[in-house]
Structure 1
Amino acid sequence: MAQSVIEALLKSKIGLDANSIGAEAIASAIYQRMADCGITDIANYLGKLQVSSHEWEALIDSVIVPETWFFREPESFAFLKHYVLSEWLPKNPQGVLRVLSVPCATGEEPYSIAIALLEAGLNPTNIHIDAVDISNKCLVKAQRAIYHQYSFRSNSRSFQESYFQPTEAGYHLCEQVRCMVNFLNDNFADPAFLADTPLYDVVFCRNLLIYFDLTTKERTIQTLERLLSPEGLLFVGHAEAWLLFKTQLVSVRQHSAVVHRKSKAAENVRKNHHQSSETRLHTSNNIDVLSRRQLPKKNHSKFAAQERLNVTSQKPISPKDLKVNLLETVRALADRGRLNEAVKLCNDYLNQNQVSTEGYLLLGQVQQAMSENERAAQSFQKAIYLQPTHQEALTHLALLKEHQGDVDNANLLWQRIHRLTKDIAVISPVQYT
């Protein structure tokens, strides 16, 4: 009971959907905080949480898992540089480019933005970067600006040599870049978030919306619309693009970065660029052919249907007997119709392996077999967040959207799949901009 109250508090205060990270992960964070406080009864911990702002902040720090590194998804920063040089700078030769990074976590993203803009040729006096996060612990690390090798993974290291000084504590970012970023502590789920702030030309808000409940998603999208200047750019995560379809934010067609532009005439743009009903029907028929070639029929799940949960004569399955890893045990349970056990074991695995693409994909498949479609969609979105080019996760999510009647967002996902698939004839995509 007390845990459900804490989950409700997290939802009301920071918009966190417990299903997005799993009740087990929240429970693990709660019990770790109880141990740190020397509290053994969860009801007593709830009482402390309700009167202590310090403990509330500590719980948030335990629940959120900042996953970031320098120049993550480098195509986004390449597009930012192109936009600044080709469009913004010619129109604003003496202006100040205003950029927002939220959530900024431990600072790698806003500092990457600053470096990208410097390398585009902008003067620091013409750049204003606000970086916002709900975690004071993350902000302290960001302002310290000392990083270890893990923060430089999957990147060309030339910028590391140019902007960082090796020290015994780690790689220390140069003062010029540190001074370009203004760090702020604020709650994006608050309707008054940055209410009195001038508009931004560019906003990076990547991989945050997927953790919010539906009401907070809708409210924060409205906040993003409010914060963006006319024609301003919004960068989001691959798993979040579908959330912006029916908004003022119109997709910008380019290669890999997920970019949207604020437009007062967004609805007219969509109408002008949508296919005719005849062309859309032709595209849908082609998509049906593709889906039949790629996935099994029926509910597109590898697992037994929900009614097979009634099986009671099965003996417990031991990972040692199967001689396979934990995820294979989950698959074996699911194949035998023991879906509740499979979900529990998969969540146990993900609590210890929070960046496992295959784990979230498998969890989504099991949840879909149980007809828990909303939870399945969230699991597939997490898999896509961790690996944006994962075709199986994209395909499962696209089929799920079609099943739910969300044809527009399903088509957006199919377009991404078509661009990733080289051995299947290319289907002409629907143009949205």
Structure 2
Amino acid sequence: MSLARFANWLLEETGIDAESLGAHALARAVAARAAATVAPQAVNGDAAHDVYWSLLTTTVAERQALIDTLVVPETWFFREREAFNALARGGMERRVTHPGEVLRVLSAPCSTGEEPYSAAMALLDAGFTHEQFGIDAIDISSASIEAAARGLYGRNAFRGDALQFRERYFHATPQGWQLADAVQRAVHFERANLFEWLAAHPVRYDFIFCRNVLIYFDRQAQDRAIGLLRARLADGGMIFVGPAETGLMIRHEFASAQIPLAFGFRWPGGEGAHAAAALGGSAKNVRGGPDAAPQRSLHAALRPLHGVPAARAAALPVQFAVNAAVNPGVKAAVRPTVKPSVKPSVTQTMKRPATPFATPVFAAPKATPARAEIPGTPDTPTLAEARRLADAGSLDAAAHAAAQHAQSAPDDAEAWYLLGLIADAQGEAALALGHYRKALYLEPGHYEALTHLATLLEVQGDADGARRLMRRAERASPRGPGDANA
């Protein structure tokens, strides 16, 4: 059977590129729906697909059923936790600068509710009352919206060790963990599609979560979606995207919010309300797999930001990081040492030149001596220590720690992956590429390295290379499209 007509329908209806879901996801979904709706004796024949095509194009309920089959929710509470910390901090700051105004938050897509409920818990923990904020949450999947409204979650929704929030806001039942009413009533859910809803919705939001959906769209749908999101962003507001989507925001001239590991972006000049007011929506999707395939394994993703537009660029007030010692095949990028009159902030240390993928030529400064690199001794830092430093925004120190760990354990793919993330965050794309490829040499199915390397290639214009890597990531993912959510 030719799937071309189904792929074209999916693109038109949702903006999703069928290939982004995996090589056989659409075929499996069509076969499953045909089996459920067409006479059993015709299920495997071309006639069955012709009959199913007729049903699909004439029945609203079946169109929704096929979308629900393709869109498999995979998310958990406080995923990429720093985004929710940034929401709480930013919300408190906005409460001071805009007293009396209701803080507006949008989660699109919201999947089965973990993301908007996490936002609600973060704001409640920050001291907000229900009258002081409002959260809207939309998703194209009616099944996901129904699950979110129930507020009942299994163990897969709780990951990592920081689960204190579960004791405060959930109670155990024989069926799972039931969310407290105080959190449930803070979120308004609606089944809708992203393009049509954003084009028609008049509210401007202080914070927008739109994570791990743009990567499923084709280029035209990505451009339209980002334009519509920009139109709905309040002046000074922030959009949070998925780790693999930061390059798309840079391409659309958004500026990094410079919050390590939050993947937040602002529109320069605060013009978010006016930039795309006239945009309409031809594609109709809210998500092409909410928190689905290409990011479903990023439990502790440290995906850094690629850069800032020329208008926001500045010199790097950070010291030279010695990377060549651990990767002789890649020449270390040399960055200048700047000695400011005051200690630079984390936001300063994350700035980089206007052209994030060009390696500028500077005179090499005197490097700060690193600790003795003796494998197996107490002086050799652990990878956990390197991650902790990266989480805190101490990128140079994190690079030193990860480099020393990589020297003592050169076959550790995680060390090279972390070095790639740090180099990426510092605007050293060539170095990041080398580190990611080293990680993939050691572990060809390393999910996160595949997705992050794909993002770099996409931003550099190698769309074919990026697509190939994303297909590899799909195959490497522990959950392919169509798998059930545990």
TM bucket (normalised to shorter chain) is 0.5 to 0.7
Q: Give the Å deviation of 1:72.
A: 0.7
Q: Which has the higher helix share?
A: 1
Q: Is 1:373 matched up with 2:415?
A: no
CA spacing shift, 1:248–1:225, aligned 2, 3 Å: farther
CA spacing shift, 1:250–1:37, aligned 2, 3 Å: same
Equivalent residue for 2:254, pick from 249, 252, 260: 249
CA spacing shift, 1:288–1:200, aligned 2, 3 Å: closer
Q: Give the Å deviation of 1:254.
A: 2.0
Equivalent residue for 1:270, pick from 312, 333, 338: 312
Q: Which residue of 1 aligns with 2:388?
A: none
Q: Equivalences for 1:145-294 in 2 at 5 Å?
A: 145-190=151-196, 193-264=198-269, 269-270=311-312, 275=353, 280-282=359-361, 290=431, 294=435
Deviations 1:70-107 (A, max 9, x none): 1111111111112122x211112211000000100100
CA spacing shift, 1:22–1:187, aligned 2, 3 Å: same
CA spacing shift, 1:21–1:292, aligned 2, 3 Å: closer
Q: Which residue of 2 aligns with 1:357?
A: 447
CA contact (8 A) 1:148 1:170 kept: yes
CA contact (8 A) 2:169 2:179 kept: yes
Q: Give the Å deviation of 1:130.
A: 0.2
Q: Is 1:68 matched up with 2:75?
A: yes
Deviations 1:231-278 (A, max 9, x none): 11100011000001143521111221101012237867335676378x
Query: Aligned partner of 2:109: which letter?
Result: P
Deviations 1:25-67 (A, max 9, x none): 1111111111111342111111110011111101000001211
CA distance in 2, matches of 1:383, 1:30: 20
Q: Equivalences for 1:362-401 in 2 at 5 Å?
A: 372-376=464-468, 378-379=470-471
CA distance in 2, matches of 1:358, 1:275: 26
State the superposition RMSD in angstroms.
3.8
CA distance in 2, matches of 1:288, 1:203: 28
CA contact (8 A) 2:436 2:449 kept: no
Stretches of structure 1 that go unaligned for 5 or more consecutive residues are 303-327, 332-345, 347-355, 387-433
CA contact (8 A) 1:234 1:259 kept: yes
Q: Is 1:103 matched up with 2:113?
A: no
Higher relative contact order (CA 8 A, sep 6+): 2
CA contact (8 A) 2:73 2:112 kept: yes
CA spacing shift, 1:155–1:12, aligned 2, 3 Å: farther
Q: Which residue of 1 aligns with 2:348?
A: none
CA contact (8 A) 2:108 2:209 kept: yes
Deviations 1:360-400 (A, max 9, x none): 67997xx99x99424225447879999xxxxxxxxxxxxxx
Q: Is 1:47 matched up with 2:54?
A: yes
CA spacing shift, 1:296–1:109, aligned 2, 3 Å: closer
Q: Give the Å deviation of 1:123.
A: 0.9
CA spacing shift, 1:289–1:46, aligned 2, 3 Å: closer
Q: Is 1:16 matched up with 2:16?
A: yes
Q: Give the Å deviation of 1:19.
A: 1.5
Query: Aligned partner of 1:209: which letter?
Result: L
TM-score (norm 1): 0.67
Equivalent residue for 1:137, pick from 143, 155, 159: 143
Q: Equivalences for 1:271-350 in 2 at 5 Å?
A: 275=353, 280-282=359-361, 290=431, 294=435
CA contact (8 A) 1:201 1:228 kept: yes
Query: Aligned partner of 2:79: which letter?
Result: R
Share of identical aligned residues, percent? 34
**Alignment: residue pair count:** 329
CA spacing shift, 1:383–1:248, aligned 2, 3 Å: farther
Deviations 1:255-305 (A, max 9, x none): 21101012237867335676378x95227x9958847975889xx997xxx
Stretch of structure 1 that moved more, 19-28 or 142-151: 19-28
CA contact (8 A) 2:21 2:474 kept: no
Name the SS of the counterpart of 2:312 in structure 1.
helix
Stretches of structure 2 that go unaligned for 5 or more consecutive residues are 272-308, 316-351, 365-422, 479-486
